[in-house]
Structure formats: structure tokens, C-alpha cells
Structure 1
Amino acid sequence: MENTIELQGSTRKSHHSDKVKTNLVNRLNRIEGQIRGVKGMIEKDVYCDDILNQVSAIQSALNAVGKLLLEGHMKSCVIERIQQGDNEVIDELLATMNKLIK
């Protein structure tokens, strides 16, 4: 299963193995559950510090997903595009990294 993005007439696809996709989806499902848990904590007026600790855990989990995606992107898509002579991928990668690092 490949993800396809249509951009300005060209089709780009991700190159994730089924194992990596399963890992990412499982992580995102856990994060989704954590977010629902935080929502429930807020609705139940749980102590703010406890909620903030859960928010921190969610941010760390999302960062881990981002790192895995970035690593895969650099090892496949970025290398492939550079080999094809498409050096614009470097600027795209830098912009994406700046968004992730914020």
C-alpha cells in the first residue's frame, strides 16, 4: 500500500514497508487514545499538572512518529530525488525539518 500525493501534475508516493506502516499506525492509535484520555481528564477537572504531564507524553510520542517518518523520508525519497538530479528536495527537507523542530 503506497500513499499518493498529487502536486502540480506529478505523483509522489511514500515508500514505507508494511512493517513500518503498521508500527506508525499503532503508535498513532495509542496517541489518539492518549488524546481522548486528556479530553476526559479535562472534562473531569483533573489536576492541571497531571494533564500537562499527559500532554508532554503525547508530544514526545508525536515527536517519535515524526522522527521515524523523517528517517524513512531521508533514506528513500530524498536520496531518490537527489539521484534523479532534483536538488529542490533539499530546500523542501529543510522547510519540513524547521516545522518539526519548532
Structure 2
Amino acid sequence: MVLPLESEAKDKDKFGKVLAWTMTFISLMYGFYGSFGAFGYFAFGDQTKDMITANYGAGLISTLVKLGLVMNLFFTLPIMMNPVYEIVERLFWGGGIACG
């Protein structure tokens, strides 16, 4: 996904810096969520289920979290398929095979 985003960027010189800050932020968020999960396991031990949504039980919060996960998957697919669509478009309507 990085190459198509860079090719569409308005100011390509700043793209590397923005990408580095974004990846740093995402890494910190994953570290936070990983430690949150570890503390949950330390607190509840073997009662913790493998699937995080199975720990919620039945109720409104559980349903909202699962709905949010489904919406995330639904809206992520077109974004991830964008480079494939661009390659196919260039192949059939752009006059050649796309490279890079």
C-alpha cells in the first residue's frame, strides 16, 4: 500500500517523514494494546479465552464490538485492493504492463 500512496502524494519529499511518524505511532499503539492484553491475562489467568470478543459474553457492548470489527473488514478490503485495481486498469486500458 505504501507505493500507491506515495505515487498519489502531493508533496513526495515529505512522504517518508510522514510514513515514519505514522509507523512509529502504530507501533506504539500495538505495544499499548499488547501490554493491555498481557495485563488482562495476568488478572484473569486461564479463564481468558483466545478470542478477545469471546471474553465479553452476550450483551450490547459485545455486539457493538463485533459489529465494529465487521465494518472494519468491510471497509478495509477496497483500500487493500486498490493497487490490484490500478495494475489491472493499466494492463487493460493503459497500454502496457505496470511496473512498480
Scaled by the length of structure 1, the TM-score of the pair is: 0.38
Bigger helix fraction: 2
Higher Cα radius of gyration: 2
Bigger strand fraction: 1
